[in-house]
Amino acid sequence: MRRRPSTPRAWRTARRALGGLRFRWSAVDRPISVDGYRERARRALPDMVWSYVDHGAEDEATLRGNREAFARYRLESRVLRGQPPESLETTVAGRTVSLPVLLAPTGLTGLAHWSGELGAARGAEGAGTLSVLSTSSTWTIEEVAAGTEQDHVFQLYPFADAGGVRGGSAELLSRAARAGFGACFVTVDVPVLGNRETERLRGMGAPPTITPGRALDAARHGRWTYRYLRHQRVSLRNLVPEGGSVAAVESVARMAGLMNPRLGWDDVAWMRDHWDGPFYVKGILHPDDADLAIRLGADGVVVSNHGGRQLDQARASLDALPAVAAAVGSRGEVLLDGGVRRGADVVKALCLGATAVCIGRPFLYGLAVDGEDGVRSVLEIFREEIYRTLTLMGVSTLAQLGPQWLAPADGAVSPFPLLAADAADPLPRR
């Protein structure tokens, strides 16, 4: 009769078999991709707020198109290069950033997390890059400047007050300059607010509409609701000084009244003349507009369709990028936002002429999940993915990137020239 193994022996055997493994209550401590952060952000936010963060205008064709544009390209690769990238640094607005990814300006960021734009800027600093502060922020220009160590970028909505667009813009530009913001992005694709139907259907109209079901949904998201009630970072603090729901409704109504459909290029020229620092025009999709912006003195342009939140059926940002980059040439920098979710997306944009990209929704997902630390984590995910992608492609510097590294996803003959052979024969002599 066989003897049953003793408990100590069985335990030793189990330890040898399982000793190298790690045990946790859940599979991962934090998400490992932007999509992972998106899933957690969806669970963290009430449905009303999620509609604001994640949805777009009308049929959301442009919102989808931004992602689909990246899927139309594949990346070339060269093997046995032996030179992984030593640095992902690039220069934007005269500042060196540790990776070619900035945080795009997003309005009412405090809806995602009470730390809002301040938390986002601190997360960007922690990752060695820049944040672009929206005029429609839930922390004032001065609060963000005082709470950060670096000079970030200010984004201007050229609002028109009683003194016209120049009077309304002059005050904001002056405040940003006094606070120490070194560069300015002026957004020109919001003459009126886009028709964001999903937001309206889910209660995020002007004013927001609360139903018993929406109140219950907020109660189910107790952590978000507690922070909302405690911090009240939901109003446009650059327009009204107070927080809370009343101020939020007042500030959004005021912003809508300040929109200026008569904005023209002469106004942009005036803003350029009244900003002493790097100046960018954001919302460019046509090469002729890019040329005009540079000729008026802009240091660069941002190829953007406002994340699919303004003109539905507009071109995808990536589709517009090559022609805009060609129009700008060496006269200025070209940034891109819209649809960037992976490090490979960043690489594709750089291949098509971008200096760097700006991300909006991805950092909002991180912010919603874990505040400042979540923003930094999302940026580190991009860093790791960019580095890995370049290494697998056989690219050692960002300067090597160009359209020759792209191929059509459908397998058609590439319209771009083939990769040039190395100047030096890589084979060793025998």
Integer Cα distance of 265 and 164 in angstroms: 15
Tokens of 138: 């839930």
Distance CA 171, CA 163 (A): 11
Both tokens assigned to 174: 């002056």
One-letter amino acid at 92 equals V
Question: Exposure pattern of 54-73 as b/e (b: 16+ CB <10 Å)?
Answer: bbbbbebbbbebbbebbeeb
Residue with token string 């369709």: 305
Distance (Å, whole) CA 91 – CA 181: 17
Minimal CA–CA distance to 108: which of 148, 62, 157, 152?
A: 157
* Dist CA 170 CA 183 (whole Å): 15
| One-letter amino acid of 405 | W
- In whole angstroms, give the CA distance from residue 161 to residue 378: 38
Tell me how far the alpha carbon of residue 253 is from its chain's centroid. Answer: 26
| CA–CA gap between residue 217 and residue 170 (Å, rounded) | 42
User: For residues 215 and 238, what is the distance between their CA atoms, to the nearest angstrom?
Assistant: 28
**Catalytic: 286?**
no
* Largest Cα span, the chain: 100
Give the Cα separation of 170 and 59 in Å (integer): 36
| 287 burial type by CB count under 10 A (0-12 exposed, 13-18 middle, 19+ buried) | middle
Look up residue 329 and give its two tokens.
């040439």
The secondary element (H helix, E strand) that includes residue 63 is helix 61-71
DSSP 7: H
Torsion of CA 345, 135, 249, 254, to 10 degrees: -130
Residues forming the active site: 306
